[in-house]
Amino acid sequence: MVLVYGNSEHYDDIEPIFTTSRFGKPVIQIGQYRFNKRSDSKGLKSGWTCVKASNGCRATITTVENIIVKYNNDHNH
């Protein structure tokens, strides 16, 4: 289940894929964009940042029990 609030431009009914990176870390893939779970995420609520965050991308996802409750799709790439 996906609940999307905020800027969802480019979302277009693409289902998120919850997977792991080659290093075993949790990843969400939505279309061409990948998000890494923030290391400070604890409990049921988790924050995710675009893999290009170090290049200034501000896109983020918030999940609660693996349900997307907020999706800021403000990518700069």
**Residue 69, pLDDT score:** 94
Give pLDDT, residue 7: 52
Residue 58 has pLDDT above 90, yes or no: yes
Residue 72 has pLDDT above 80, yes or no: yes
Q: pTM of the full predicted structure?
A: 0.81
7-53 pLDDT, tens digit per residue, is: 555 455 678 999 999 999 999 999 999 999 999 988 999 999 999 99
Instruction: Provide the residue ranges of all domains of the chain, joining segments of one domain with +.
Output: 17-72
For residue 11, give every residue at least 6 positions away whose Cβ sits within 8 Å of its Cβ, in sequence order, or none.
Answer: 4, 30, 31, 71, 73
Q: Is pLDDT of 1 > 70? A: no
